[in-house]
A and B are shown apart, each in its own frame.
Chain A
Amino acid sequence: MAQRLVTLSAAIALLALTLGPIGAVLIWAEGVSSLRPGDLAALRFTVWQAFLSALVSCLLAVPLARALARQRFRGRGLLLALLGAPFILPVIVAVMGLIAVFGQSGLINQAFAALGLPRFDIYGLHGVVLAHVFFNLPLATRMMVQAWLAIPDERFRLAASLGLSRRALFLTLEWPLILRILPGAFAVIFVICLTSFAVALTLGGGPRATTVELAIYQAMRFDFDPGRAAALALLQLVLGLVAGVVALALSPRQGFGVGRDRSVPRWDGAGRRVLDAVVIAAAVLFLLLPLGLVVARGVPGLSLLEGDTIRAAGHSVIVALASTLLCLVWALALSTRRGELLALMAIAISPLVLGAGLFLVLRPFVNPFSMALPVTALVNALMALPFALRVLRPEAESIRTDFLRLRQTLRLTGWAWTRLVLLPRLRRPLGFAGGLTAALAMGDLGVIALFADPDRATLPLQVYRLMGSYQMEAAAGAALLLLVLSFGLFWLFDRGGRVHAQSRTG
């Protein structure tokens, strides 16, 4: 009963925070304005690029996750953590890194020119998809690896003892796993790409790459037509929800049963070492090369960092930690199918409209400027909620199913259950989800533009401020600092979850 209450309040808070702001904007605008002809083209492009991006990310994630799950090699842990980095990069930094590799004068084109090959042009739909895959392939991969590791070793031993062929092993163990994880991963990535704006525009190469979010930006900041912005935001929300419903309907419910927490050496990696090595090497090049260039560009700028930037970094870390705590508590309360569906609303909602709505809602009660950091922490927690849930929900549900009877027959209280069973058994996904949230909260620019305060700037905002003042080198340094901090937080959380998990099974 008490647990129902917690879930219900978490759900209500979520609804209030997503629909409330849109409602506030609609009331303020006195209704919805009609859409423009161009909006339809934007909608088509938005859905198409999001679909392609999610599809490619998910398809590539399968071989990569499989290789990472079944091979053991030195530095594997570090690599797993590093692969999370693109996802948590601030957009502007990542785009610069990608262009340094794939751009007109990037590494690829330099190599092509040296070989006498024609120039490769990154700008266009394929560029948008490439960038989105760069961001989201690591996410899909980590979700898959996470689930792969959650298959009890007993299942693999059973498969081994039955002498299953590779095909049979795939069909009995891996295919159900893929079916369980991929639709959800697809939905999350699809919805993230729905709200893409700067990436789509910059790499799309022109007005053909107009997304709905850009139209919202135009309506909100340029045309001051909040009615149209709210209408577009609602449209985006519906799209996200539809994607979520379809994905969740496609993903089957059953889990893999209770494991006995014994660690058994994986036997199925041998004989596939070469193939797996090629897959892993290709992924490392694709994902880490742009990061390496961001680092290389940023190092000279580090010496230019001054007080404001350091202070901004401090704010960002505090905001990130607050967001993480809030988000994890929220996600635990909502870790059911319906909760996850509800949470998809959070990424499908336009940050611009959310910011404007929150501003309108808060203004009668408090000075929005003094709320800059709390609001940022709250909104970042909200935005990270779907990711946290995607990671937590499947395992939380299987823990609930697996131990339901034991819980009932022992008459465990909700608190004892949470503290002694749910949290310890969720440690690994909790660490991962916490790391994601912290890193996302570090990199998010989100709603702060309406609430900004000179003394409470966050680091991503500071990067933009520096660029806006021609301080490209200092901005590169600040971006590197942001990368290091985001990644550091991610690593700490993720590592924390995994270290414990290993000592438990060791």
Chain B
Amino acid sequence: MKPLTFAAGLVLATSAAAQTPVLTVYAPDYFVSEWGPGPKIEELFEAECACDLQFKPGDLLPRILLEGARTEADVVIGLNTDVTGKARESGLFAPHNADMAALTLPVAWTDDIFLPFNYGHTAFVYDTTRLDAAPESFDALLEAGDDLRLVIQDPRSSISGLALALWVDAIYGEEAEAAWAKLAPKIVTVTRGWSESYGLFTDGEADMVLSYTTSPAYHIIAEGDETKKAAIFPEGHYFMVELSAKLASTDVPELADQFLAFTVSEPFQSMIATGNWSIPAALDPSGWPAGFQQLDLPETVLFYSEEEAAERRDAAIEAWRSGLSR
């Protein structure tokens, strides 16, 4: 019974492959859950490409680096800026040929390999029913009483954790370690990833959680809950962008180009806000869903270029480590 079904599946798969081209897309794991943007992307793109889009979720860059030029991926979606240097160096990626004029990012973007599709900023999110007055600046956060409880992510295992380390570095520079030392008594704990932190926050274990400026939008739109807010600091917030890129080794380069162009097109962009709970990278704010339009967003955006980030990274993590270990 089993081998038969398996064989039948193989036959079906090969005959289907002969008819329609397949676009293999590596994506982060959360993309493909029924709550993630994957299924909608697949539906929208397959409607216009006459192809079969297949997501392969899991580790992105580690897997591609392990596979090298023999990778099956045609496109990868969901990379972060902290890995683009390593990715570029590998020579495994090709320029995207997409039109970047439509981008509406708060920073100038000219990268010809990595194409943004949505963005957000690091921010401390809190619950207005539990915290009366959130700190109004990063300085105020450092000076807040030690009964304020924060939960953050480890910069060595989490992208948002690393963004926080760079955020502190961008604001305080040489004083970063001292800033961390001031923050230390307020930090309940450090988790491996964002999910654990956010879980602790929603369970009431902490007053504020390191998350994104866009997190409240989820609660507003999906739950009709307006009590979650991001504290906006005048010192600025670190910019976090998600990117896609084409593999040089793809055997369907036109299809890959078509997909990348699709990620900055209107159908994708008007879906991604609520699909991935992030701000669309190429859509005028007037086109955002209502919940996003009412978000508090920072005036000042902090962002290290790839080279700066590579240069500052180790120092920023070390300041975090020694500041918190004091």
Contact = CB atoms under 8 A, between A and B. Distances in A.
A–B touch (CB < 8 A): the answer is yes
A218 B34 contact: no
Nearest to A99: B205
Q: Is the interface of A mostly helix, strand, loop or mixed?
A: helix
Contacts of A224: 61-62, 65, 86
B230 to A, nearest CB: 14
Given A452-B57, A467-B198, A123 B34 contact: no
Given A203-B189, A472-B199, A214 B154 contact: yes
Interface string A208-224: 10100011011011101
B188 interface: yes
B199 A104 contact: no
B36 A307 contact: no
B53 to A, nearest CB: 11
Interface residues of B, number: 54
Contact of A217 (B56, B149, B157, B202): B157
B182 interface: no
B46 to A, nearest CB: 15
Nearest to A363: B67
Given A201-B190, A224-B86, A467-B199, A462 B33 contact: yes
Given A105-B204, A202-B189, A205-B189, A454 B325 contact: no
A251 interface: no
Interface string A121-164: 00100000000000000000000000000000000000000000
A452 B56 contact: yes
Contacts of B106: none
A344 interface: no
Interface of A: 28, 38, 92, 95-96, 99-100, 103-106, 123, 197-198, 201-208, 210, 214-215, 217-218, 220-222, 224, 306-308, 356, 359-360, 363, 367, 369, 448-454, 461-462, 464-472, 474-475
Given A95-B196, A221-B157, A306-B34, 5 more contacts: A104-B205, A123-B188, A207-B154, A450-B58, A471-B33
Interface of B: 28-30, 32-36, 38, 55-59, 61-63, 65-67, 70, 72, 86, 149, 154, 156-157, 162, 184, 187-192, 194-196, 198-200, 202-206, 215, 218, 222, 277, 320-321, 324-325
30 contacts: A99-B200, A104-B206, A105-B205, A202-B190, A203-B189, A207-B325, A214-B156, A218-B156, A221-B59, A222-B156, A306-B34, A308-B34, A356-B66, A449-B59, A450-B58, A452-B57, A453-B56, A454-B56, A464-B195, A465-B29, A467-B195, A467-B196, A467-B199, A468-B33, A469-B35, A469-B36, A471-B35, A472-B198, A472-B202, A474-B35
